[in-house]
Amino acid sequence: MTEQSVSVEAAGSVKEFDATREAVVQAHNLTKRFDDLVAVQDLSFEIEPGVIFGLIGPSGSGKTTTVRMLTGIFPPTEGDVTVLGYHPRDFPRSIREKIGYMPQHFFLYPQLTVWENMNFMASLYGMNLFRRKILGELLEFVELNGHERKKVGDLSGGMKRRLSLAATLVQNPTLIFLDEPTAGIDPVLRRKFWSHFQGLKEQGKTMVVTTQYVGEVAYCDLVGVMDQGRMIMLDTPAGIRHRTYGGEMIDIVTVDPLDYSQVAELERQADVKQRLLLEGNHVRVLVEEASESMPELLRWLQDRGIEVQTMEEYLPPFDDVFVDLIQNVDVIHQKENNV
């Protein structure tokens, strides 16, 4: 796989880790094999501080293995990785204290109350005993205040996930790994979670979030799309959409349907790369930059007396983007290489 490196700056974030904006995570040709099974192959990327890095891909695509290599749970079979300037296997305590990790599965103790679990996590990170205020704020942050005395075994699934998130944040980590934090929870709560993540980002935290929900890509600053252990694309959400289709799409709805010659002439327009759809009076074209091409196309239509009902950029849902990307990944890469 071609090495990719994309940097995204987080707007308005407070940088705790490194004022010089050195990459928090640097992975180079990471590969992990379990006997004959190649779980992750040739992963290379960098994550700068203060961004939300999304790892997206179907189940078994290697997201969790990647996170485990980044956190030092698994050593890579090949390749090299540094996190906060250290190889994960050699993290000193001071670095471990800066890392928050929320595993994929619920990891807290069902016999303990919400408060006792939070206390356990705080002690695990060696926090001093004057921690009541911090823990209270965290529970408030995940909207679990008032449930402190409830036994965790009695909480709903959504509350457990929120508690997990709060427990992951007890030591005020700089870098947070969240492995499928929104798996198995309802859409409303998922949106709340991402709202929390945005809040954390605003506090200057760097986050690595894995998800199976393709739509959640939109919340990330940088996205790595994984399939069968490979990172098939690494870009911003908009960049992924753009690269998947080779440009941006514009939907044009005219009052009367275009005739054959009008359509053929439209396809020959300089900005138009490809006509994607023609259904009655609805035409969809692919252009390089929708914002730049739309005035040109509107002028062209008006010059020919074609009455336009609506013209707008079409943003295909990320679910579709993801499917198209997976299906056409080789073609896309070939085109990119040719360019």
To other proteins, the closest distance from the beta carbon of 82 in angstroms equals: 16
Among 38, 112, 218, 311, binds other proteins (CB under 8 A): 112
208 three-state secondary structure: strand
Which of 262, 313, 322 is closest to 288 using CA atoms? 313
Among 16, 18, 97, 324, binds other proteins (CB under 8 A): 97
Q: Which is nearer to other proteins, 108 or 252 (CB)?
A: 108
Contact status, residue 59 vs residue 35, Cβ threshold 8 Å: no
Backbone CA torsion sign across 27, 28, 29, 31: negative
The stretch near other proteins (CB under 8 A) out of 113-121, 186-194, 229-237, 274-282 is 113-121
5 binds other proteins (CB under 8 A): no
The stretch near other proteins (CB under 8 A) out of 46-54, 65-73, 189-197, 289-297 is 65-73
**Strand 175-179 to 230-235 pairing:** unpaired
Backbone CA torsion sign across 134, 140, 142, 147: positive
To other proteins, the closest distance from the beta carbon of 73 in angstroms equals: 5
To other proteins, the closest distance from the beta carbon of 291 in angstroms equals: 43
Token pair belonging to 22: 């050195």
Among 17, 45, 101, 194, binds other proteins (CB under 8 A): 101
The string over 205-223, giving b where at least 16 C-beta atoms fall within 10 Å of a residue's C-beta and e elsewhere, is bbbbbbbebbebbebbbbb
The stretch near other proteins (CB under 8 A) out of 16-24, 102-110, 206-214, 289-297 is 102-110
Q: Count interface residues toward other proteins (CB under 8 A).
A: 35
107 binds other proteins (CB under 8 A): yes
To other proteins, the closest distance from the beta carbon of 137 in angstroms equals: 20
Among 17, 74, 193, 194, binds other proteins (CB under 8 A): 74
Which of 190, 108, 192, 197 is closest to 155 using CA atoms? 108
77 binds other proteins (CB under 8 A): no
Terminal alpha carbon distance of the chain: 17
To other proteins, the closest distance from the beta carbon of 96 in angstroms equals: 4
133 CB neighbour count, 10 Å cutoff: 8
99 binds other proteins (CB under 8 A): yes
Per-residue binding letters, 121-160, with other proteins (x by CB under 8 A): xxxxxxxxx---------------------x---------
Q: How distant, in Å, are the alpha carbons of 66, 120, 136, 215, 328 from that of 57?
A: 12, 33, 35, 11, 15
To other proteins, the closest distance from the beta carbon of 332 in angstroms equals: 35
Q: Which is nearer to other proteins, 97 or 251 (CB)?
A: 97
Percent helix, percent strand, percent coil in the chain, to nearest 5:
35, 25, 35
DSSP assigned state of 247: S
Positions touching other proteins (CB under 8 A) are 68, 71-75, 89, 93, 96-97, 99, 101, 103-109, 111-112, 116, 119-129, 151, 177
